[in-house]
Structure 1
C-alpha cells in the first residue's frame, strides 16, 4: 500500500489546492482511517470513467480529480492532431451536487487546450449526450453523473466519436496522461468563460439537439393505431433528468393519461423524496405506487437520475403492483419487438441483439425462434455498444436491440448507450398493445415461460466497503477460481458441464476435458459456471462500487422444479461465501 499520509500532507502543501479544500483536509487531521480512505489510492477508471464519493482527496470526486482527468483527456485528443481538436467534445451533466461545476470546469480546461467544447446549458439525460456526440460529429463526450448512486457520489464518464463509452484502448491512453500529470495541478490549463466564448472555443447547446433526438426516439415506434393509448401511466424521474424527455415523447405519441409523481418531478441533488434513487429497488416506487392506486394506473415507470435506466411495475389481476426485473423486461421487449416486426413484414435478415454475459438466456431462446443472432459481451453498455460498433464495421449484422439485467435497454443506432427515454416509450407502447387483448405483462411473461421454459433468477450483491472489503472480495474470487470445482462439482445434484474464467479468457469443458479460448470477449475478472440442465451462475466484483455481484439462473420446463433448483444453487453459494472471512 502506498504512503497515504505522505500524499495527504503533500495536498496540504500543494500551492494549487485552494484554502477551502485544505480546510476540509485539516478537519480530518486526527482521523487516520478517513485520511487512509481518501488517499490510499486514486479514483480508477471503471465503467468508462470515474465514480466516487464527493470530497477532497485522491480517492474522491472533486474539482482536482476532475481537472486532472480532463487535462489528460485533452492531452490525449491533442495527440491525434488539429482536426480532432476542431471536432470537439460535448459535455452534459445531471442534477447532482457539483455536476454543473465539474462540467464547466471540464469545458474551460478543454477550451484552454484549444479544443472546441459544446456544453449543454442545463441538465440532460446521459443518452442525449451519447446522441449529441454522434449528431455533432465530435471526437469525444463527457457526462458528469453518478447514475443511480446515493447523493454523496458523483462521476465522470467519457465517450468516444461513435457515441459509445470509451473502451480500454482509449481509457489506457488517458490513464497514461493522468499519470504524467500526477499531482502537479499546475499542469492543468484553464481560461475564463468569457475568453473561451470570445475565441469560439466554448459553445452552449440549446434545444436543437433535443428536438432531433426526440424525433429519432419517436421514429422507433413499432405500433401506433392498434394500441390502447388510454392506458393510465404513472411516471417518476426520481428527481433526475428524465422528466421533460419522457413526458414529451409520451405526449407526442398521444398517450392521454400520464401522471407524474409530483414529489419527484423536479431536480433534487439530495433525493429527499426517495430513500435510494436506484429504481432497481422497489423502495424507489413507494410514491409511484401511491399515485398509481389513486389513478388506477396500469403501468408505473421510473428512470434513474441520469435517465439511462428504466424500471417498471405493472398492475396484476389482483389490483396490486408487481415489479419486473431487467431480465424479464428485456425478454418481453425482445419478444414484442420481434413479434411486431415479423407481423408487419419488417423482420430483416442478419439482425443482432447484444446482451451481457451475466444477463439471462430467455431472450436468446426467443431470438432463436425468429432467426435473430444474439451476441454476448462483458457487463456494461460500453461493451454492448462497443460490440455494436464492431458489428457495424464488419457489415454482416444490423444492430436491433441491446440490454442487460441491470435495467438498461437501447433500440436503434443513433444512441450508443442504454436509454431510459427509448425504453420508457417502448414499454408504454408494449403495455398499450397487450391491453387491447386484455393482457398485462405478467400474463404475457407467463406465456413466454410456457413456450421457452422457466428461467428464474436471483441476482444480488454483497456490499464490502473499504480496504478490508476489497481484500475479502479478492479472497472469495480466489476460492471460486482455484478451489470451487474441486470441492463442489456435484453439490447441486446437477453436474457442472463447463465454466468460464474471463480473466484467463478460457472456457473449460469438464465432461469433454478440453479448454477453449475466448476470443471475442475482453479479459475481465468474471467467473461463470453452467450446469448440465441449462441452469448457470456467475460471480464478479463490481467495476464501479464496493460490491461482489452474484448472478444465479435456474432453468426447467416446470416452474416448481426451477424454483427448487434456484434455492439450492443460492444456498450453496451463500454457505461458501459465508465461510470465507
Structure 2
C-alpha cells in the first residue's frame, strides 16, 4: 500500500470532522490493505455532471463529507460567476429513494445555506425530471439531485443542474469541477444547522403545489386524448421501489387510464431494492413480478421506471403469447414514429435529437418524414443543450423528441433531461391507440423494420473495478484508438471516428474531417456492410461499454449477424488486455 494512501486513511481516522460512527467503520478495515487502498487511493471523481460511487467512508466513496465538499465547490462557483443575485436565486434540491439520499440532500442544503445561498429542498423524494422542471419553475441558479439512477443498491450519487434546467455543460461543468477540486480541507466547508438555515430564510421546503404544475406540464404532451377503450386498457406498472409511483399513478389516472395495476411488492420506496438489487429497466429480470401480475389480470404491457424515474423499460406480450422486451433504441424509434404520424402541426424544421451511440436507423426514418436529426455525445445533458439552442435560435430546429439508447426519452420541453413520467404516459397512450385499431407495439415495430430495414443493436458492458480496472480500461481504449489495419473482424473499415481527437477519417480515401462535438473518450468504427461498433468507458460505473448496430436481411438474419459480430469483437478485446 502506498504511503500517501495510508496517510490519507489515518488523516480521516484522526480528524475531528469525521463522526465517531464513521470512524468505527474505518477502524473495521485497519487490517485490510486492499480495502483501504480502494477507499483512499483517489478522490471520488466529480466529473462534468456530478459524481456517483459506492456508499462508505473514504475519499473514493460517496458519503456526507464528499457531498459537503462537492457542494462547497458548487457554492464557490455560484458566488464567483453569479454573485449576490445567484445566491438569492438559490438552488433547488431533490433526492430519490436510495440509502443516504435524505441525509445527503439535507447536507447539500445546509452547506449552501452556510454560504448564504438559499436552498429549496423537496420535503420528500421526487423524480429527477421534476427537479429539472423545478429549476426553471422556481427560477433558481442551479439544481442538485441526489441519486445513482439505475446503479446497484450500494451506490448513490450527486448530479448538478444549471439555471436552464439541464445538467451542467461547459463552461459551468469544468468551472464547477475546478472549484470542487480546490476544496482541499474540511475546514474550508461552510455548514450551518437546519434550525439556523430556516431562521435565516436560507432553507425553504418545496410544497406539493409544484407537483401539480409539473403534472399539468406532462399532460400537455398528450397527443391523442380520445382513444376508444382507453379506460379499460390494462397496464401493469412498477416504480421498482423508486420515485415514480406517485407521479406516474397520478398522471395516468388524470389522463383517463383507469385500469392500471401497480406491482405491490415493488410499489413503495426502498433503497435496498429487495425484489431487484439491480433496479434497471434495461434488465428483463425486473419484469418477473410485473409479468406474473399481467398474466393474472390479462394485461399485455408492463412498464417499469428506474429509481429516479428518468428512464423506462417495457415488456409486451406478442400475438404468439411470448413476452418480449423492446430495447432502448426500439422504444425510441417507436415513440418517434408515433409522434411523427399522430402529432398535429409538425413544423417544417421539426427536429429529433439522439446520440452517437444510438441506432443509425433513425436517419432513414427522419429522412422519409422530412425532419432533421441532430447527434450529440452520450448523455442527455447534451440533448438538453440542443433544446436550449433551438429556443435561443442558435440552431435552426424545433424540438420534437429526444432519446438515447439507454432507455431515456423526452417528449416536450417542460424538462431538460430524460423524463420517464411523460414517457410512461405517451407509451401508455401509444399502446392503447394501437390496441384500439387492432394492432400492437410489436406489430408496429415489425412494420418499421419491414419499411426501413432490419437493424439490430446490442451492448456489451464489462465491469473493471478498482485501480487495476481503471488501468485495464485505459489500455483497451488506447489499443482501439491505435488500430492501424484497414479491416476489423474481417470486414473493410469505411470510417473511424475518434471523438477524443475530434477527428473522422475516411479509410478508403484517407480524407480527414473535424467532428463538431466536445472531445470525449469514444472510438467508433463504421464497416463496409453498415455495421457500427463503438467503444467508450462508462461515466457512471467502473465499466467499459461496446455498442453494436448491424443490418440484416430479416429478423433471424439480423439476430445471427449481431451475435456473431459481438462474439468476435469480444474475443478481440479480450486479447488486448
Fold shared per TM-score above 0.5: yes
How many Å separate the matches in 1 of 2:489 and 2:247? 50
Aligned partners of 2:548, 2:395: CA distance in 1, in Å? 35
Quick one: distance in 1 between partners of 2:48 and 2:569? 26
Which of residues 260, 280, 283 in structure 1 aligns to 2:262? Answer: 260
What's 1:388 paired with? Answer: 387
Instruction: Write the deviation string for residues 304-343 of structure 1: whole angstroms up to 9, x where unpaired.
Output: 01100000011111223111100000000000000002xx
Report the Cα distance in structure 2 between the residues aligned to 1:366 and 1:311, rounded to whole angstroms. 22
Instruction: Mark the CA change 1:242 to 1:438 in structure 2 (over 3 Å): closer, same or farther.
Output: same
The 3-state SS of whatever aligns with 1:495 is: strand
For the Cα contact (< 8 Å) 1:47–1:380, is it kept in 2?
A: no
Output the CA distance in 1 between the equivalents of 2:374 and 2:482: 28
Return the alpha-carbon distance in structure 2 between the equivalents of residues 13 and 226 of structure 1. 66
Match of 1:303 in 2: 305
Please report the TM-score for the alignment, with normalisation by the length of structure 2: 0.97
Bigger Cα displacement from structure 2, 38-47 vs 534-543: 38-47
Counterpart for residue 5 of structure 1: 6
Q: Which residue of 1 aligns with 2:575?
A: 579
1:431 alignment counterpart: 431
**Following the alignment from structure 2 to structure 1, what is the Cα–Cα distance between the partners of residues 495 and 290?**
43
Q: How many residues align?
A: 573
Q: Which moved more, 1:137-146 or 1:563-572?
A: 563-572
In structure 1, the partner of 2:348 is 349
Query: Which residue number corresponds to residue 340 of structure 2?
Result: 338
For the residues of structure 1 that align with 2:327 and 2:318, how far apart are their CA atoms? 15
Residue 408 of structure 1 pairs with residue 408 of structure 2: yes
Deviations 1:421-456 (A, max 9, x none): 010001000001111222111111000001000111
How far, CA to CA, are the matches of 2:117 and 2:163 in structure 1?
A: 14
SS at structure 1 position matched to 2:325: strand
Q: CA deviation at 1:190?
A: 1.4
Q: Choose the corresponding residue for 1:498, options 487, 490, 495.
A: 495
Q: 1:560 to 1:322 in 2, by over 3 A?
A: closer
Task: Give 1:130's match in structure 2, choosing from 116, 126, 132.
Answer: 132
1:61 partnered with 2:62:
yes
Q: What's the offset of the Cα at 1:275?
A: 3.6
Aligned-partner SS, 1:55? coil
Return the match for 2:543 from 533, 544, 547.
547
Q: 1:154 Cα shift?
A: 0.5
- The structural deviation recorded for 1:2 is 8.2
Contact 1:227 1:429 in 2 (8 A): no
User: Over residues 229-267 of structure 1, what are the superposed CA-to-partner deviations in whole Å (9 max), with x where a residue is unaligned?
Assistant: 121100000010000100101101111210000001101
Whether 1:452 and 2:452 are equivalent positions in the alignment is: yes
Contact (CA 8 Å) 2:46, 2:70: kept in 1 or not? no
- Give the alignment's TM-score, normalised by structure 1: 0.96
1:375–1:216: structure 2 CA closer, same or farther, 3 Å change rule?
same
CA offsets, 1:147-167, max 9 Å, x none? 111111100000000000011
Residue 119 (1) aligns with residue 121 (2): yes
3-state SS of paired residue (2:124)? coil
Matched with 2:365 is 366
Q: Which residue of 2 aligns with 1:170?
A: 172
Equivalent position to 1:523, from 513, 519, 523: 519
Aligned residue among 243, 246, 270 for 2:245: 243
CA contact (8 A) 1:309 1:407 kept: yes
- What do you get for the CA RMSD once the two structures are aligned? 1.4
How big is the shift at 1:580?
Answer: 2.3
Deviation at 1:179, TM superposition (A): 2.4
Work out whether residues 46 and 544 of structure 1, in 8 Å CA contact, stay in contact via their aligned partners in 2. no
- Tell me if structure 1 keeps the 8 A contact 2:48–2:174: no
Deviation at 1:107, TM superposition (A): 0.6
* DSSP-derived class of the 1:434 partner: helix
2-side partners of 1:50 and 1:227: how far apart?
46
Is the aligned partner of 1:188 residue 2:184? no
Residues in 1 aligned to 2:24 and 2:179: alpha-carbon distance in whole angstroms: 29
| Long gaps (5+) in structure 1 | none
Give the Cα separation in 2 of the matches to 1:372 and 1:472: 42
Q: Alpha carbons of 1:13 and 1:162: their partners in 2 closer, same or farther (altered >3 Å)?
A: same
Deviation per CA, 1:44-73, whole angstroms, max 9, x where unpaired?
124610100111100001110000111111
Distance 1:115 1:367 in 2: 45
* Aligned counterpart, 2:532: 536
Offset of 1:178 from its aligned partner? 2.0
Q: Is the 8 A contact 1:235 1:259 kept in 2?
A: yes
Distance of 2:193 and 2:458 partners within structure 1: 52
> Partner of 2:275 in structure 1?
273
Task: Map 1:309-328 to 2 at 5 A.
Answer: 309-328=311-330
